Amino acid sequence: MKNNKKQIVEGSHAVAEVIKNCQVDVISAYPITPQTHIVEDLERMKAEGKADFEYIRADSEFAAASIVLGASATGVRTYTATCSQGLLLMTEVLFCIAGLRLPIVLTCANRAVSAPISIWNDQQDAVTLRDSGWLQLYGETNQEVVDLHILAYKLAESMMLPVMVNMDGFVLTHTYEPIEISKESVIKKYLPKYKPPQNTILDVNNPRSLGDFAAPDVYMEIRQELHEDVLSSKKQITKLAQELKKIFGRSIGDNGLFESYKLNDADIVLVAMGSVCGTIKEVIDNQRGKGQKVGLLKVISLRPFPDEEIVEALKKAKYIAVLDKSISMGSEGVLAIDLKRAAYTKLKAKIQSFIIGLGGRDVTEKMIIKIINSVKKQDNKIQFIGE
């Protein structure tokens, strides 16, 4: 195993390492479980003189987001990490960051939202921000999460859009896995130094204002441009995932947007995001052994949502079960809503929303089998699968 560059490390540590190797200039964060290990590791690197970045301790997530906003506006590469209540406290600033077109990368260690208070994993925090203009990518394994961060910077800086990389709290952040963390010298080949567009940054020698008032005659066009750029970032993700494969030899799903697993002949397709896809793949292998044609479509990019590509991948499916670790209260799972919108008039399959794993409830193989069995039934109502 001479050429094996993998090391067994904790997910959070791997993220901290790769952020350092991405040559980030300014980091600001406020610790919150289960994100804490990421920012602790980054602070330690700084304290031990192993990193060049500025680390600014903030007095809240609101301040941390504001600090990276200001730093990014001066034309440097920035990073922050948070989750749950912290992400929600950042909300106002996160909308500003997207509106101001600042290429900030944020790691969200997905955690449930209060109340009742829960420090455990689900994806309610991140999906709640799907309308903000941030691109949202979800990793299944720590290797994928590490690679998504490298892609995220290139994506953010080429589209002038902020990117949120999501990793399931505890399930990924606190888990040790064999991970290859690319070296700075290799990352440099993929991710050159950040050069902001001319005349867009704050510079004392050439004073400009950021965050100006937009009267009704321009506000709408600026928001429309943001929407169109979020849509067109889809092509960019595919392109960057191909480039990443060339340089690092690792792929992110089929095309950076999603991964299809045993989809070709599948009657029943499960659609999900994040770490639960590992368990689903295990169940699919077992069920296929019993002759059941089941497949998985793992969504990596929730924003932009790859409408056409997903519809194309699902066109042969008869039953589609969408598994969400979140819910739009009074409606359905967030991924299910998006999929139904994309499928409108294009797919004939039955699409049903299943809610799983809220507040850290373990998602077992038994639950997934239960979903496979119930999606074939006539009933099309949203279902909570807790046991």
Residues at the interface with another protein (CB under 8 A): 73, 99-101, 158-160, 195, 197, 199-202, 207-212, 218, 221-222, 225, 229
Q: At what angle do helices 219-248 and 142-159 cross, to 10 degrees?
A: 130
The minimum distance between CB 223 and another protein, in angstroms, equals 10
| Smallest separation (angstroms) from another protein to the CB of 197 | 6
Q: Which is nearer to another protein, 185 or 199 (by Cβ)?
A: 199
* Minimum distance from residue 205 beta carbon to another protein (Å): 13
* Coil, helix or strand at residue 305: coil
Q: How far is CA 7 from the centre of its chain?
A: 23
Say whether 222 sits in a helix, a strand or coil.
helix
Q: 301-303 and 135-138 as β-strands: parallel, antiparallel, unpaired?
A: antiparallel
Do residues 294 and 288 make contact, with C-beta atoms less than 8 angstroms apart? yes
Per the CB < 8 A criterion, the answer to whether 155 and 163 are in contact is yes
Angle at 194 between CA 36 and CA 131, to 5 degrees: 60
Q: Please, which residue, 211 or 278, has the CB nearer to another protein? A: 211
Instruction: Provide the Cα torsion 9, 259, 88, 132; round to 10°.
Output: 140
Instruction: Identify which of residues 159 and 240 has a Cβ nearer to another protein in the complex.
Output: 159
Kindly tell me which of 198 and 345 has the beta carbon lying closer to another protein: 198
- Least spacing, CB of residue 307 vs another protein, in Å: 22
Output the smallest distance, CB 332 to another protein, in A: 34
Q: How far is the CB of 229 from another protein (least distance, A)?
A: 7
Look up residue 139 and give its two tokens.
């990793």
Between 222 and 231, name the residue whose CB sits nearer to another protein. Answer: 222
Closest CB to another protein among 40 and 229?
229
Q: How far is the CB of 212 from another protein (least distance, A)?
A: 6
The answer to whether 175 and 11 are in contact (CB under 8 A) is yes
Cα 114 to chain centroid distance, Å, stands at 21
Contact residues for 214 (Cβ-Cβ < 8 A; gap 6+): 222
Closest CA to 269 of 204, 323, 320: 320
Q: What residues pair up with 138 in beta bridges, in sequence order?
A: 166
Residue 176 has what DSSP assignment?
E
Minimum distance from residue 273 beta carbon to another protein (Å): 27
What HEC string does 13-67 produce? HHHHHHHHHCCCCEEEECCCCCCHHHHHHHHHHHHCCCCCCEEEECCCHHHHHHH
Nearer to another protein, 56 or 201 (CB): 201
Nearer to another protein, 160 or 369 (CB): 160
